[in-house]
């Protein structure tokens, strides 16, 4: 059990100051575990979200581009994020009526919401219209339903979602033919239907295809304006990369990768690119700085000189560094050359298997102690399923895990907290704890599912 030769190479996550502070506090995490009845639990930090949001807004301002940031809400269900968006006067991207209502309840105005997702329900379209939200139309049939609402006298704001040539097999968006038909219908119904432009959302995390697609859609906006449509905006969607680990451990991990690093030699369809450069708001700057057309110096100039607004919908990237997850260790079972940690909780709360993949940034044992016996271990959930593994990977620890430890999975706020959680075995869903910091102290409160607050007005420090 003490051999580590078959263990995977380490992938330490980059760590922000607030996490170090919470993690190295001698008692705070134990107190939180006690307060929530053991765990697992998520810890979230809205101040970092606000910082990330400001970085995207700054990237637009610096590039001289007018536009709006919409937080891709599906990446995390906590109420503190839409609340932070409302306070910063930015928008939210929602894809269902409950998400729309949740954003409104946390102070985001309807006019600051964009509605994405395929074949939206009539209820969602009607509600979105009543609140003057921007609706991304994904198919002609949906356009007809939106037109019916407009013809009944409601003002409707829409974008047309485009099927990108760089993702030709995507099930989302309108192809060239459908776009021509859609534009004609928008022109015919423009009395109540305000066609504000086009949108796309690409898989992958590359700069160039986003820049080219955006440039093409600016041209389409100009053509649509010539036909009398408003067409003043292009949404380039989300997919801004997150830089979880430094370049050198990531490159080494990939170059020495072996199936034997994983329990049962499990293979995966692929991994998120855990190291990325540029990432986040810097990736937006790189997109805007791309040269895409001869008559404009770069994409930013093309947006500015054509009077086109840039809309973006980052999800994961706005949540970078905004949270982590603590799973109590229920037990440790040593075997020949690696062991099994059983964590309280389910792999459903670490959602990467949604993509037939695994979350790779290294979990850490808490409390931190002097290194003793190097140990490698995989991590199983507390269900009766062989496949309920939080980590199939044989992770290196510098001591033997023990019942009563916490296992901290870093940087989990983007998609790893609650995108496919379930009450399997009738286990309750992990609660979220919101942390705020001042130079003197760290404060915390339980996040309520519905409406977030800042505790302002009675914060006796």
Ligand X SMILES: *Cc1c(COP(=O)(O)O)cnc(C)c1O
Q: What does the binding site for ligand X look like in residue numbers (CB under 6 A)?
A: 72, 74-75, 93, 116, 201, 237-240, 313-317
Which CB sits closer to ligand X, 239 or 401? 239
SS3 of residue 152 by DSSP: coil
Which CB sits closer to ligand X, 200 or 262? 200
**Alpha-carbon gap, residue 368 to 364, rounded angstroms:** 8
The answer for residues whose C-beta is within 8 angstroms of residue 48's C-beta and 6 or more apart is: 16, 18, 320, 321, 322
Which CB sits closer to ligand X, 112 or 313? 313
Look-up of token digits 């440790």: 332
Number of neighbouring beta carbons within 10 Å of residue 255: 8
* Nearest distance, CB of residue 21 and ligand X, angstroms: 27
CB 154 within 8 A of CB 148: no
* Nearest distance, CB of residue 240 and ligand X, angstroms: 6
* Nearest distance, CB of residue 253 and ligand X, angstroms: 22
**Going by DSSP bridges, is the β-strand pair 323-334/406-409 parallel, antiparallel, or unpaired?**
antiparallel
As given in the structure block, the two tokens for residue 33 are 């575990």
Which CB sits closer to ligand X, 310 or 326? 310
* Nearest distance, CB of residue 209 and ligand X, angstroms: 14
* Nearest distance, CB of residue 282 and ligand X, angstroms: 14
Which CB sits closer to ligand X, 17 or 204? 204
Which CB sits closer to ligand X, 50 or 52? 52
CB 407 within 8 A of CB 325: no
* Nearest distance, CB of residue 169 and ligand X, angstroms: 16
DSSP state of 91: E
**Alpha-carbon gap, residue 81 to 96, rounded angstroms:** 17
Which CB sits closer to ligand X, 175 or 260? 175
* Nearest distance, CB of residue 170 and ligand X, angstroms: 11
Look-up of token digits 């007018």: 66
Which CB sits closer to ligand X, 75 or 300? 75
Phi, psi (degrees; rounded to nearest 5) at 113? -110, 140
CB 329 within 8 A of CB 423: no
Buried b / exposed e across 172-207, counting CB within 10 Å, b at 16+?
bbbeeebbeebbebbeebeeebbbbbbbbbbeebeb
Which CB sits closer to ligand X, 39 or 239? 239
Q: What is the DSSP string of 275-317?
A: S-SS-HHHHHHHHHT----TTSSSHHHHHHHTT-EEEE--SGG
* Nearest distance, CB of residue 93 and ligand X, angstroms: 5
CA distances from 113 to 11, 157, 234, 237 (A): 37, 11, 15, 13
* Nearest distance, CB of residue 418 and ligand X, angstroms: 14
SS3 of residue 170 by DSSP: coil
**Alpha-carbon gap, residue 111 to 114, rounded angstroms:** 8
Which CB sits closer to ligand X, 172 or 332? 172
Alpha helices in 106-165 (DSSP H): 122-130, 140-151
* Nearest distance, CB of residue 448 and ligand X, angstroms: 24
Rg (CA), the chain: 24
Which CB sits closer to ligand X, 193 or 318? 318
Number of neighbouring beta carbons within 10 Å of residue 459: 10
**Alpha-carbon gap, residue 366 to 377, rounded angstroms:** 15
**Alpha-carbon gap, residue 170 to 429, rounded angstroms:** 32
**Alpha-carbon gap, residue 83 to 436, rounded angstroms:** 14
Which CB sits closer to ligand X, 128 or 317? 317
* Nearest distance, CB of residue 114 and ligand X, angstroms: 8
Give the orientation angle of helix 140-151 with respect to helix 122-130, to 10 degrees: 50
* Nearest distance, CB of residue 152 and ligand X, angstroms: 27
């Amino acid at each position: 059990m003490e051999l580590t030769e078959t263990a995977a190479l380490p992938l330490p996550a980059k760590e922000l100051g607030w996490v170090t502070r919470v993690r190295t506090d001698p008692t705070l995490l134990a107190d939180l575990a006690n307060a929530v009845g053991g765990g697992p639990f998520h810890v979230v930090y809205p101040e970092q979200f606000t910082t990330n949001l400001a970085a995207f807004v700054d990237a637009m301002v610096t590039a001289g581009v007018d536009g709006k940031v919409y937080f891709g809400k599906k990446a995390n269900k906590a109420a503190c994020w839409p609340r932070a968006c409302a306070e910063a006067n930015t928008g939210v991207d929602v894809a269902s009526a409950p998400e729309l209502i949740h954003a409104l309840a946390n102070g985001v105005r309807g006019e600051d919401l964009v509605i994405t997702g395929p074949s939206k329900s009539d209820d969602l379209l009607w509600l979105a219209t009543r609140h003057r939200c921007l609706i991304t139309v994904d198919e002609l049939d949906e356009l007809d339903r939106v037109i019916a609402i407009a013809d009944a006298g409601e003002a409707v704001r829409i974008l047309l979602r485009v099927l990108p040539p760089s993702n030709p097999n995507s099930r989302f968006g309108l192809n060239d033919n459908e776009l021509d038909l859609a534009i004609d219908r928008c022109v015919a119904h423009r009395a109540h239907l305000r066609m504000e432009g086009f949108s796309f959302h690409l898989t992958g995390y590359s700069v160039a295809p986003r820049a080219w697609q955006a440039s093409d859609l600016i041209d389409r906006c100009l053509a649509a304006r010539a036909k009398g449509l408003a067409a003043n905006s292009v949404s380039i969607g989300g997919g801004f990369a997150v830089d979880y680990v430094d370049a050198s451990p990531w490159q080494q991990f990939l170059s020495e990768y072996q199936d034997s690093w994983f329990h049962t030699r499990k293979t995966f369809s692929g991994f998120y690119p855990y190291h990325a450069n540029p990432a986040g708001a810097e990736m937006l700057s790189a997109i805007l700085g791309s040269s895409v057309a001869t008559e404009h110096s770069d994409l930013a100039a093309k947006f500015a000189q054509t009077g086109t607004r840039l809309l973006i919908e980052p999800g994961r990237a706005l949540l970078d560094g905004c949270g982590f997850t603590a799973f109590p260790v229920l037990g440790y079972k040593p075997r020949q050359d690696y062991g099994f940690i059983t964590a309280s909780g389910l792999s459903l709360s670490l959602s990467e298997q949604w993509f037939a993949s695994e979350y790779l940034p290294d979990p850490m044992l808490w409390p931190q102690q002097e290194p003793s016996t190097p140990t490698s271990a995989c991590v199983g959930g507390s269900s009766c399923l062989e496949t309920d593994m939080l980590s199939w990977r044989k992770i290196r620890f510098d001591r033997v895990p023990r019942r009563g430890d916490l296992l901290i999975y870093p940087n989990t706020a983007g998609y790893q907290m609650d995108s496919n959680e379930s009450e399997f075995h009738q286990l309750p869903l992990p609660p979220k704890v919101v942390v705020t910091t001042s130079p003197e102290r760290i404060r915390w409160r339980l996040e309520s599912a519905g409406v977030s607050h800042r505790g302002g007005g009675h914060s006796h420090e």
